[in-house]
Amino acid sequence: MATLWPRRERLLRVSGLCRTVRALSGKNEYDLLVIGGGSGGLACAKEAAQFGRKVAVLDYVEPSPQGTKWGLGGTCVNVGCIPKKLMHQAALLGSALKDAQHYGWNIAQPVHHTWSVMAQAVQNYVKSLNWGHRVQLQDKKVKYFNMKGSFSDPHTIRGLTKAGKETIVTAENIVIATGGRPKYPAHIAGALEYGITSDDLFWLKESPGKTLVVGASYVSLECAGFLTGIGLDATVMMRSIPLRGFDQQMASLVTEHMESYGTKFLKRCFPTKVEKLESNRLQVTWKNTDLGREETDCFDTVMWAVGRAPDVKTLNLDAVGVKTNSETGKIIVDASEATSVPHIYAIGDITEGRPELTPTAIAAGKLLARRLFGQSSELMDYDNVPTTVFTPLEYGCVGLSEEAAVQCYGSDNIEVYHAYYKPLEFTVAERDATQCYIKMVCLREREQRILGLHFIGPNAGEVIQGFALGIKCGATYPQLMKTVGIHPTCAEEITKLHITKRSGLDATVTGC
């Protein structure tokens, strides 16, 4: 008779039966269920399994509007940090080939880049990571459900497979780690029909050709940067300021270098329409606010990089009372990553007020598992988190921007040490280094505690990672001056900072 029930009635009875069985037994099927198989969710699940708990991960990738889909691992592995850094590396190799001739290498001309070769290699590596994550879960005895999940009650999740098969999973604790997805500007005609996002770019089999990247975020600048670096015609359209939330002097230097590197910029412009021509090219119409007129151009690809939205629409959060920010849609959590509902937690990009960074999600997930099952009380510390923007000339930072420091402490209480320097690697190749710049923001007091460090130049991520430990430990300017630099490196220039903005002196480094 069960097969004759209408589908909805059958689901309600099965779900109700699960809740009844749980009430009678006093036990849930799992100690921990993680919804979302990205970096944070996987880290939390694997850490919980280390304590001998019964753990499950439920993950499902909704294909992008253009049909792109991928495997286990979340944004970072599939459509974020990993493929981005590899394509950035491809662009750096192109620059190195140009430099090589100055160092005596005879490079056969003409040198050209083949997108399909790079894309296939990157995609194969990403697929190996997908498989690796599945193996790790199996090794740690974490159950993996390739399903879309939604709440039935605070301890019950209804899972739905791609084929429509339903499974009810119960857990004592549930962690939401579904991350975010790129936004489409739905108000712009043709945006959804003809545009792509970063969810698609890394999985294209053929070159995107002449590309318009709309947005001023780090995603926009990084993608436009490596597209330019591999020899494509790339244009960035920015409505307002670049790299909002980052130090704006540094952001300006980043975009100045990108322009000199070959990336075009349409500043203070916003698109109004995208049309597909008979030639299959895309004609974009936009408003130039400086000139007060409409302009058009044709592109092979239009990529939207106008922000990300939390992936919560299918979770049925309202049904269990999980509170979200009405403006951002992100889940509101406290310092322990707890939501408004007992035993339901959230970590990573989906949470309000947290940095959208893979390492913070991983750390938060591990610490949460330890608090739940390992008798730990340690909370995640979100202060002084280092990060890097992988533009052609990289920008790494840790701590406060100059603007934020002035807002917090007042301009009279801030001392900024800075320097324009030239990497040794740039000298023989005669590369322009006018945007290679270091800024250290300090409290203007006897100890001069370092509030923020900003670095633009080669290998910025490697440089900032090393100094981040000192700043996390409360390093001061005098302590840094006692640190012996490694010669000859770009990082060494940080240990030699001595000119302040306040002094008005020329901050250009000369000599060794």
Centre a 10 Å sphere on the Cβ of residue 407 and count the other Cβ atoms it contains. 12
Catalytic residue set: 487
What does the alpha-carbon distance between residue 494 and residue 487 come to, in Å, rounded to a whole number?
A: 12
Structure tokens at 457: 């130049």
Residue 149 known to bind ligand = yes
Q: Is 195 helix (H, G, I), strand (E, B) or coil?
A: coil
The answer to whether the Cα torsion of 238, 240, 245, 247 is positive or negative is positive
**How far are the Cα atoms of 19, 21, 138 from residue 170, in angstroms, in the given order?**
8, 11, 20
Residue 219 known to bind ligand = yes
Phi/psi for 121 (5° steps) reads -65, -45
Residue 422 known to bind ligand = no
Residue 59 known to bind ligand = no
Structure tokens at 323: 């509170």
What does the alpha-carbon distance between residue 259 and residue 212 come to, in Å, rounded to a whole number?
A: 14
Residue 220 known to bind ligand = yes
What does the alpha-carbon distance between residue 267 and residue 293 come to, in Å, rounded to a whole number?
A: 13
Residue 349 known to bind ligand = yes
388 in Cβ contact with 396 (< 8 Å): yes
What does the alpha-carbon distance between residue 497 and residue 491 come to, in Å, rounded to a whole number?
A: 11
Residue 162 known to bind ligand = no
Helix (H) / strand (E) containing 140: none
Query: Residues of 226-252 as b/e, b for ≥16 C-beta within 10 angstroms?
Result: bbbbbebbbbbbbbeebbeebbebbbe
Residues in the chain: 512
What does the alpha-carbon distance between residue 147 and residue 430 come to, in Å, rounded to a whole number?
A: 54
Residue 71 known to bind ligand = no
Measured in whole angstroms, the distance separating CA 29 from the mean position of its chain's CA atoms is 34
Residue at token pair 């949470």: 351
Q: Is 494 helix (H, G, I), strand (E, B) or coil?
A: helix
The conformational region for residue 288 under phi > 0 = left, psi -120 to 50 = alpha, else beta, is beta
Residue 218 known to bind ligand = yes
Centre a 10 Å sphere on the Cβ of residue 354 and count the other Cβ atoms it contains. 22
What does the alpha-carbon distance between residue 329 and residue 293 come to, in Å, rounded to a whole number?
A: 35
Structure tokens at 204: 């294209």
Closest CA to 173 of 20, 328, 325, 44: 44
Residue 150 known to bind ligand = no
Residue 461 known to bind ligand = no
Residue 366 known to bind ligand = no
Structure tokens at 119: 């894309």
- Binding-site residue set for FAD: 85, 149, 349
Please give the annotated binding residues for NAD(+), written as ranges.
215-222, 307
Please give the annotated binding residues, written as ranges: 85, 149, 215-222, 307, 349
